[in-house]
């Protein structure tokens, strides 16, 4: 669980989608994330082909809401806002998908306040706890004018046969030197109700790693002869390694490294996409 620098400093003071159905992508900018209460609007309904010609019809909904501190109305800079949007599915074999999405949404919100609180509350309640923490902080330190701005969205990036992939994006500006953004990917086999690992996608992980390094070096203009350590990356002994932040897009398998993970913050996050055609001989899924 990531602890944001500003939150840790504050704790010392107080001692303290649209949904893609096969080819349709969610454009966050076009979505109304800022309704006062939970809002469900139908995005799309489309049958998808599973194994043995099994058909599953999903009704895809976008749930979005915004929580805002009452302090935002005063004349100071004091304000806290939390905006959340994530997909909700209705239909057969969707219970595991919804459970996994909501669990990850709550866990990510919980990481913002850096507390080991129970996740046995609603997503909206978890967002309200962030607002409550901010209000408690301001009540304790009335001269503080730091503003909190948290935005979380879950995007459906791929869906075919029995696989459905998501990317959870969390932007948290809690008054520090810079905002923090994290992206986490996860893939679900909705027929078998289980999370998918890289080994479920490819038959040869070393070969995939080699293909991913090739894409990584090309993206960052690093020749094969150059050490990654010399280029400022944190890979142990300068050797490229994968993490567990694996996703799928329409173009290939994605690997995402968040800020601070393999490089200083100034170098930003790194996303690479290994095209399906580059790994077709080791690909275990139909795309």
Domain ranges in the chain are 5-195, 198-278
* pLDDT tens figures, 107-130: 999 988 776 777 788 999 999 999
**How confident is the model at residue 76, as a pLDDT?**
75
CATH 3.30.565.40 fits 5-195, yes or no: yes
Q: What percent of the chain has pLDDT over 70?
A: 79
The torsion defined by the Cα of 75, 77, 80 and 82, in degrees rounded to 10, comes to 100
Output the six-digit token pair for 275: 């095209």
pTM to 2 decimal places: 0.80
Helix (H, G, I), strand (E, B) or coil at 228: coil
Tell me the H-state helices in the chain: 5-13, 95-113, 123-140, 198-201, 205-219
Output the six-digit token pair for 65: 């809401």
* pLDDT tens figures, 253-265: 999 999 999 999 8
Q: Which of 167, 189, 134 is closest to 246 using CA atoms?
A: 167
Half-sphere exposure of 269 (CA within 13 A, CB side): 16
**134 neighbors 124 (Cβ within 8 angstroms):** no
Angle formed by the axes of helices 95-113 and 123-140, nearest 10°:
10
Domain 198-278 fold is Actin; Chain A, domain 4 (3.90.640)
**133 neighbors 25 (Cβ within 8 angstroms):** no
The whole-angstrom separation of Cα 5 and Cα 8 is 5
pLDDT of the chain, 287 residues: tens digit per residue: 343 444 434 443 333 333 333 333 333 333 333 333 334 333 343 433 333 334 555 778 899 999 999 999 887 789 999 999 999 998 888 999 999 999 999 999 998 877 677 778 899 999 999 999 999 999 998 888 889 999 999 999 999 989 999 999 999 998 777 788 999 999 999 999 999 999 999 999 999 999 999 999 999 999 998 889 889 999 988 899 999 999 999 999 999 999 999 999 899 999 999 999 999 999 999 88
């Amino acid at each position: 669980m990531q602890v944001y620098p500003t939150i840790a400093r504050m704790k010392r003071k107080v001692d303290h989608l649209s949904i893609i159905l096969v080819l349709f992508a969610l454009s966050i900018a076009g979505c109304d994330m800022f309704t006062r209460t939970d809002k469900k609007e139908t995005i799309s309904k489309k049958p998808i082909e599973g194994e043995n010609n099994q058909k599953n019809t999903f009704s895809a909904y976008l749930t979005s809401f915004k929580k805002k501190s009452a302090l935002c109305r005063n004349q100071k800079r004091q304000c806290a806002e939390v905006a959340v949007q994530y997909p909700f599915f209705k239909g057969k074999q969707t219970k595991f998908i919804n459970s996994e999405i909501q669990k990850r949404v709550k866990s990510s919100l919980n990481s913002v306040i850096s507390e080991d609180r129970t996740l046995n509350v609603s997503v909206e309640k978890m967002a309200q706890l962030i607002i409550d923490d901010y209000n408690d902080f301001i009540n304790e330190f009335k001269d503080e004018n730091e503003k909190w701005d948290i935005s979380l969205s879950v995007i459906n990036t791929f869906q075919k046969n029995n696989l459905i992939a998501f990317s959870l994006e969390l932007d948290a500006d809690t008054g520090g030197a810079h905002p923090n953004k994290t992206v986490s990917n996860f893939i679900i086999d909705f027929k078998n109700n289980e999370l998918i690992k890289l080994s479920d996608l490819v038959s040869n992980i070393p070969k995939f790693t080699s293909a991913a390094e090739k894409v990584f070096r090309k993206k960052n203009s690093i020749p094969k002869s150059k050490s990654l350590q010399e280029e400022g990356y944190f890979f142990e002994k300068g050797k490229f390694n994968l993490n567990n932040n694996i996703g799928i897009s329409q173009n290939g398998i994605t690997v995402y490294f968040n800020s601070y993970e393999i490089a200083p913050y100034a170098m930003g996050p790194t996303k690479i996409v290994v095209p399906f055609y580059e790994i077709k001989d080791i690909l275990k899924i139909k795309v």
